[in-house]
Every structure is written in structure tokens, then in C-alpha cells.
Amino acid sequence: MTLAPFGRRLAPVVENRKVGAYSLLIAADPDGPADPRPGQFYMLAAEQGWGAGEGERPYLPRAFSFARAREGQLWFLLEDIGPGTHRLAQLEPGENLWLTGPLGIGFEPPTGRPILVGGGIGTAPLLCLQDQIGPEAPVLLGFRSAPHAEAASLFTGDPQVTTDDGSIGRQALVTELLREELDRRTADGGRPTIFSCGPPQMLEAVRAMCAEHDIPAQLALESGMACGFGACFGCVVPTKKGYIRLCVDGPVLPADQLDTALAPH
Amino acid sequence: MLELCGIELRGPVLNGSGTYDAIAARRTFGDDLLERFPFDCFVSKTITLAPRQGNPPPRLWETPAGLINSIGLPNKGLAGFLDEDLPKLAELPVPLCVSVMGFDHEELKQLVSAVGERDEVSLIELNFSCPNVETGLIMGADPAETAAAVETLRPLTRKPLIVKLTPNATEPAAVGAAAEAAGADALSLINTLKGMAFHPRTGEPWLGGTTGGVSGPAVRAIALEQVSSVSRRVRIPVIGMGGIASGRDAADFLSAGATAIAVGTESFRDPAAGARIASELELVSRKEREFSSGGVR
């Protein structure tokens, strides 16, 4: 995996624009490595106004998989759902981010024919994965509604989209597309590898489906983190080998290491 | 340079036990970590005799200017620590302090004897923040329990013994005085304050372990008072900690009577915080010296 420079560093905000329901935050990171592995993440905090939000929060930095790394800039996709993401969504060019990373273990390069399966904000690490492996792999994306589904426009080519409310694309869960794709692949004899990131219920459905078809899958999980570099032991998830720290032993895990991808809360 | 219980340290900044995993940090940051190691002495995560998985998640809850953690002391156990971790920790460029916790005196004796034999270890910290399974009392909350444990362990090693005091005691200064009388070489405080959070939708306790420990700037004022009251009661050195996030904060703990300080939760926000705080502290100290000599205002 790509090592992180030691300590946190300041990264100037270059752009922060709405992509439908999400914010796309772009920061310059000239001192960071140019080649973070898709699935790796960064801890982000605003240099100013961190702790001035609702309930005197946020206090800790927040973990985000990077969505794209190009020309010394890092892209992060985020949704304003709490005091940390709210402040990050407000950032403007001229302000700075505190940034640590890249952290954790990202996706392993595909061995079979890759299929990318994303849900909601979890589409972020699949974007840089597509940048890396090319646009030939099918991209299946599920969203709540049309404003969220605008994130699909960041991908190259034409991702297949589902929404919960049918406001764009097929009204279905993204796992319905995956099942059809797997049936097709199995019929033509190719062995796929699944790369997936999304909400816990979606990841669990992907995990169960891949287990049923005996297909390898790499799942990028999420867990609340305080530090992102193995210090706090706060982000553990249960695996077949017991609890592991998602920040240093993940966030990408082979699906066969898990009995469930569901989070405790 | 600073001498702590006969051990030479290049400066006064330690890490709080359980707030930094130098082995995981090296996997993340590479040897850059060793070249710019942020602490003057490294304190290990607490080890117990048997391996522990720790508490079920969720383990974290953010508070205003702080954090509640309910980690539950996951660790490889004594044998796993000695075999796998100690050789790696010995590669760090600073002296090593190993934190141990036992659930009765017999466990404590095994831990202190085994760790005390190892040349890689300079100091031993005794984490008494757990219940004694024999008496049901939190060892570190009770002066007599603390004294009995330290008296039992004192003859087993020549290495300095640091007693970590819990703030969840009626009178931490009395516990500190009892530890000193029983032969402790130093005290460190504070550990986390007991805390709780509730799920915003279900109203159930949020943390998998139900309760947790509060840390961060939210507890700093409490820590300063406890460091001050303990320091006034004992002659042995006190390592002060609790929400230290800047050199100014560190200077306050020295003013309160601490000989050295430890950084904990701030390292979660900034992995190199220890080094930043050390250089800020030097600046604060220099300014104070200049001010007191009337040289510069």
C-alpha cells in the first residue's frame, strides 16, 4: 500500500461544488504521494472552524476514501449529514484542510473480470478504481433518488443506475443489477471479481450474493474512526478472525473474511 | 534532557498508554515515524496476562472537545506481546515503558516479573483502573488496594514502577500518597473519566461496552486540578495528562506540578502532535524565562 507522510498537513481547497445531493471537495496535496491506492482513505478536518458547529462539534477528523487523485489534487465526495460533513461541505477555495493519509489497505488489483458495485456516497472509491482499471468494467450504482444519482455522471462511460424511488434509472436495489450481471457472466463462463462500497445493508447483500455464487469480492467498509492509523482501536469490525481495526487492516476486506458486513448500529 | 526515575529522556513528552500503536503507525507512515518520533518515551498499550478481544463496537462517541471510548483493553496477552510486539517496540528511538493490568495479584506478579526481566523495557506502568476480581473494588480507586498491590509488586523488579491513577476516585491524592508509601517511583494521571452516551434514535446506550472513558480537552481542567492536588501530596515525580493539545496546555501541567507530560487524544487528530507540543512547550518556556528575568515583554 502507499505510505502516508508522517503527521497531518495543510491542503488548500481548490474547489467545492455540489454534485446533486453531494459535495465534491477538491484539495491540492502537492506534498502527498501521487499514487494512493483506490480504497485507501484520508482523515480530513477544516483548518478553521472545526469545533464551532452544532453541539460544539466536530472535534475529531473524519475519514473519507478519496474519489480521485490526479495532478496533485485529491477529490472527496461527501454528504452533509452531521457537524463534520457540514463544515467540510461549507469549505471554500482559500480555506485549508488538515489532511492525513493515504491510510489503510485499498483494493487489490483485479484477477478476474471486475464488476464495480456502489451505493450512495460509497460510489467514491469506485471512481478512482475505474480510473485505474479502465472503463470496460461494468459499473452498477444504486442511489436514493435522482439528486444523489448525479454522482454517476462523474464516471466514465455509462454506469447502470438504480434508485429507491425510481426518479431516475430502474426502481430497484443495485443488487438486482448485480444478480443479472452475475447470471450473464456465469452463463458465458467468465469469472468476475466484485469491487463494492456502499451502505452496510447493500454490502451485506453483495457479500451474501457473492458467497452464493462462489465469486470473490472486495468490500470497502465504513466505521466511525478517531485516528485512522491504528492508535485508538475504536473502528473495529467483527470478522471470522475476530475484531480487526478497519483503519489499518481495512477498509477494504475480502468478503470471505466476513460473516456479515452489517454494522452494529 | 530530563531524568525520570533514573531514566534519561530527551524531553518531557510521553504518550498516554493506549493512545498510540507505534507498530501500526510504522506500517502506515514507514520509517518516517522513527526519524521524527513524536515522543521522548513510548508507553505501550496495556497488556494483560491473557489475550483480550476488547469490547464490542461501537467503541467511540465524539463529545464537545472530546471523545468517549469503550475499547476494553484488546491486546495479545503477555506471551503474544513479548514474542511479537516487544522486538518491534525495541526498535523505537526512545526508552520503552510497558503498561500492565492484572485482575488479581497473582496475574500482576506474573506480568511485572516477566516484563521486568526484559532489557528492552525501561519502565513499567501499573494500570489499576480495573476491578480486583478478588475484592470487587477498583484497585486504583482505593488507597489500601493500591498500596497492597504496589507492596506485592515492588520486590519483583528493580525497574521503576509508575502507578497510573484513575480520576474516578474519591480522593486521587490519597491513592497517590498510598502508592508512594508502598514504593511507587512515579505517578501518572489522569486516566479517562467514566462517561456514557445514548443512541439518538433508540435511546439505548450507544457504546458496545455501555460506559466508556472521556478524554480530550473536555477533561483538561479536571486533570489540572488532580495533577496539582496529587503533586502537592507526594515527592515522587508526576506525569501529567488529560486533554493536552498545545505547548501552552503542557506548560500548565508543569505549573500544576508535573515533571513530564503525556499526549493522548490529540494524537488522534494529529499523529505528530507530540512533537509539535514539545516544540511549542520549548517556546512557551523560553518566553516565560525571558519574562521572569524581565528581559522581554
Pairwise CA distance, residues A145 & B103, whole Å:
54
Count how many domains chain B has. Answer: 1
pTM > 0.80: yes
Give percent of chain B with pLDDT exceeding 90.
91
A6–B59 CB contact, under 8 Å = no
Q: pLDDT (tens digit, 9 = 90+) per residue, B73-109? A: 999 999 999 999 999 999 999 999 999 999 999 999 9
Q: Is the pLDDT of residue B297 over 50?
A: no
Q: Give the whole-angstrom CA distance, residue A182 versus residue A159.
A: 16
Helices (H), B154-246: 172-181, 220-233
The confidence score (pLDDT) of residue A44 equals 98
Q: Residue B57 to residues A63, A97, A245, B26, B230: CA-CA distances in angstroms? A: 17, 29, 11, 25, 35
Q: With an 8 Å Cβ cutoff, are B25 and A51 in contact? A: no
Tell me the chain B residues in contact with residue A250 when contact means C-beta distances shorter than 8 Å. none
- Predicted local confidence at residue B131, as pLDDT: 65
ipTM of the complex: 0.95
B208 → chain A, closest CA residue: A264
pLDDT above 50: residue B214: yes
Q: Which residues does chain B have within 8 Å of residue A263's beta carbon, measured at their own beta carbons?
A: 57
Average per-residue pLDDT in chain B? 95
Give the model's pLDDT for residue B287: 81
Q: How much is the pLDDT for B132? A: 63
Query: Residue B60 falls within a domain, yes or no?
Result: no
Quote the minimal CA–CA distance from A129 to chain B in Å.
21
Task: Compute the average pLDDT of residues B25-29.
Answer: 98
Range of the structural domain that residue B188 is part of:
2-54+71-195+215-292
Note which residues in 237-256 of chain A have CB less than 8 A from chain B.
237-238, 242-243, 245, 248
Q: Tell me the residue type at A191.
A: R
Separation between Cα atoms, residue A249 and residue B195, nearest integer Å:
28
Q: What are phi and psi of B16, to 5 degrees?
A: -70, 140
Is B97 assigned a catalytic role?
no
Q: Which segments of chain A have a pLDDT < 50?
A: none
The CATH number that applies at residue B244 is 3.20.20.70
Does B16 fall in a domain? yes
Which secondary-structure segment (H or E) carries A3?
A: none
At B206 the pLDDT is: 97
Residue B210 lies in a domain: no
Least Cα separation, residue B148 to chain A (angstroms): 31
Domains of chain A: 9-103 (2.40.30.10), 113-257 (3.40.50.80)
Under the banding of pLDDT at 50, 70 and 90, the label for residue B129 is confident
Q: What is the pLDDT of residue A111?
A: 84
Amino acid at A182: L
Q: Could you tell me which residues are beta bridge partners of residue A117?
A: A140, A196
Residues B134-143 have pLDDT tens digits of 666 688 999 9
Chain B residues bordering chain A (beta-carbon distance below 8 Å): 18-21, 23-25, 27-30, 32-33, 36, 45, 53-54, 56-60, 62-67, 69, 71, 74, 199, 206, 208, 216, 265, 267-272, 275
Which residues from chain A sit within 8 angstroms of residue B19, using beta carbons?
231-232
pLDDT the model gives residue B5: 97
Query: Is A235 an interface residue toward B (CB < 8 Å)?
Result: yes
Looking up cell 526512545 gives B94
Looking at B13-17, B136-140, B255-259, which range is the least confident one? B136-140
Helices within chain B (DSSP H only): 22-29, 32-35, 77-80, 86-89, 105-116, 143-153, 172-181, 220-233, 247-255, 266-269, 273-292
Compute CA distances B288 → A162, B22, B281, B294, whole Å.
Answer: 64, 33, 10, 10
Q: How far is A51 from chain B (nearest CA, A)?
A: 7
pLDDT of residue A264: 67
**pLDDT computed for residue B268 by the predictor:** 98
Task: Choose among B100, B101, B80, B82: nearest CA to B90.
Answer: B82
Model confidence over B55-72: pLDDT tens digits?
999 999 999 999 999 999
> B32: phi > 0 → left, psi -120 to 50 → alpha, else beta; which?
alpha
Do A60 and B268 lie within an 8 Å CB cutoff? yes
The mean per-residue pLDDT over the stretch B109-124 comes to 98
Of A223, A231, A236, the CB nearest to B268: A231
CB A167 within 8 A of CB A146: yes
Strand bridging mode B66-69 / B212-215: antiparallel
Residue B191 belongs to a domain: yes
Three cell numbers written together for B89: 517496540
Of A236, A242, A263, the CB nearest to B59: A236
Whether residue B43 is predicted with pLDDT greater than 50 in this model: the reply is yes
Cα A253 from Cα B138, distance rounded (Å) = 39
Q: The cell 516484563 sits on which residue? A: B115
Which span out of A169-178, B122-131, B285-294 was modeled with the highest average pLDDT? A169-178
* A98 touches B at CB < 8 Å: yes
